[in-house]
């Protein structure tokens, strides 16, 4: 194990311990495509952020940089006061605090729902199988699909699979939850159940960054809305201001598109 001294920030500005996530001048390219352009964002602990914007605007890329499923090429990503750029051993501290829910659920089709949920606690946390399964049942209850514990993902509706994926993320007891378009792969009638689950999570004080176009959800739970376009954060605003009186023309055009 590396010493704590390795975690000392090298840049001048100290990291704000009250912030769950800080992005400072973050840039990312895919080849010549500039996917994230000078992204700056501070998310205090317990805050709920909704990220929206047109397709290809960098929303998913930005949140995937927070748990290092993708890497930024310049700038700083600081999670719970730990910068990701200096030493890879910090990734472990970061990832142990960050849960991720994916658009396409990413459940393993050959494992039951219960096994899916218990997988990371057993492999990553070295939890005994029985304890992990107990934990998994607890969270499956919590997202109201306890009766599906022994089913395989293929036997569940999309909405149920996404709730299972949320339960799986919760099993790792994250302090920060990253959610990437949780309802965009779902049939319309499935959306409500997933959003209800998300609303209830949001009520528990967990820091949450959620990429979604569900503006009803944004109005109900978001502390702030972050609007992105072409790799940039164009506007950060309260939901009320964003929906009724957005500052940027691009945001107004986007809202006109999705709300019509």
Partner 1 sequence: MAQIPGDKQMACADTPKSAVGQRNIAEVDFDQIHDRQQFGSVKWANQWDEFSPRVEGEDLLSLWTADMDFRAPETVIARLREAADHGIYGYTRRDPRHYEIVQSWFAHRHNWSPKLETLLPAPAIMPSVAAILRTLTKPGDGVIVQSPVYSPYFEVVQGNGRVLLTNRLRLQNNRYELDLEDFERLAAGGAKAFLLCNPHNPAGMAWTREELAALNDICERHGILVISDDIHCDIRLSDRSHIVFSSISDDAADKSFICTAPTKTFNLAGVPSATISVANRKRRETLLAAMQASFMVNANFFGRLALEVAYSSGAPWLDQLTGYVASNIDLVCEFAGEYLPGITPMRPDASFLVWLDARALDRRVGGIQKFFVDRAGVNLYDGRVYGPGGEGFIRLNVGCPRPLLRRGLERMSSALASM
Task: Give contact residues for partner 1 (rule: CB under 8 A).
Answer: 1, 30-31, 67-71, 88-89, 91-92, 95-96, 99-100, 106, 108-111, 119-120, 123-124, 126, 169, 172
CB-nearer residue toward partner 1: 70 or 220: 70
CB-nearer residue toward partner 1: 126 or 260: 126
What phi and psi values does residue 50 have, to the nearest 5 degrees? -105, 130
CB-nearer residue toward partner 1: 9 or 119: 119
Strand 207-211 to 224-229 pairing: unpaired
Supply the minimum distance, in Å, between the C-beta of residue 99 and partner 1.
Answer: 7
* Residue 169 Rama label (left phi>0; alpha psi -120 to 50; beta): alpha
User: CA-to-CA distance for 229 and 86, rounded, in angstroms?
Assistant: 29
The residues near 258 (Cβ < 8 Å, ≥ 6 apart) are: 213, 215
Supply the minimum distance, in Å, between the C-beta of residue 83 and partner 1.
Answer: 13
Number of residues that make up the chain: 260
Supply the minimum distance, in Å, between the C-beta of residue 37 and partner 1.
Answer: 17
CB-nearer residue toward partner 1: 68 or 230: 68
Supply the minimum distance, in Å, between the C-beta of residue 35 and partner 1.
Answer: 9
What phi and psi values does residue 25 have, to the nearest 5 degrees? 45, 50
The residues near 53 (Cβ < 8 Å, ≥ 6 apart) are: 59, 227, 228, 229, 234, 254
Q: Are 65 and 29 in contact (CB under 8 A)?
A: no
Supply the minimum distance, in Å, between the C-beta of residue 92 and partner 1.
Answer: 5
Q: Are 96 and 177 in contact (CB under 8 A)?
A: no
CB-nearer residue toward partner 1: 124 or 131: 124
CB-nearer residue toward partner 1: 172 or 225: 172
**Edge-to-edge order in the sheet of strand 176-180:** 98-101, 176-180, 207-211, 48-52, 224-229, 232-237
Supply the minimum distance, in Å, between the C-beta of residue 219 and partner 1.
Answer: 28
């Amino acid at each position: 194990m590396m010493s704590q001294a390795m975690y000392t920030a090298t840049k001048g500005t100290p990291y704000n311990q009250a912030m769950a996530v800080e992005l400072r001048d973050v840039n990312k390219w895919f080849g010549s495509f500039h996917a994230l352009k000078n992204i700056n964002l501070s998310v205090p602990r317990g805050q709920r952020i909704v990220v929206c914007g047109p397709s290809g605007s960098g929303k998913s890329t930005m949140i995937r940089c927070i748990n290092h499923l993708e890497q930024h090429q310049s700038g700083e990503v600081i999670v719970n006061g730990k910068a990701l750029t200096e030493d890879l051993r910090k990734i472990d501290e970061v990832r142990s605090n960050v849960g991720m829910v994916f658009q396409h659920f990413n459940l393993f089709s050959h494992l039951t729902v219960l096994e899916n949920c218990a997988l990371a606690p057993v492999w990553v946390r070295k939890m005994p199988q029985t304890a992990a399964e107990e934990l998994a049942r607890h969270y499956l209850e919590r997202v109201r699909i306890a009766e599906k514990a022994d089913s395989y993902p293929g036997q569940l509706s999309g909405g149920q699979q996404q709730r299972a994926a949320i339960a799986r993320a919760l099993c790792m007891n994250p302090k920060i939850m990253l959610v990437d378009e949780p309802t965009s792969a779902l049939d319309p009638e499935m959306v409500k159940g997933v959003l209800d689950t998300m609303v209830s999570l949001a009520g528990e004080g967990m820091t949450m960054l959620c990429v979604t176009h569900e503006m009803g959800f944004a109005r109900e739970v978001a502390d702030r809305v972050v609007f992105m376009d072409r790799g940039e954060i164009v506007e950060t605003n309260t939901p009320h201001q964003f929906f009724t009186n957005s500052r940027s023309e691009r945001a107004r055009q986007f809202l006109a598109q999705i709300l019509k």
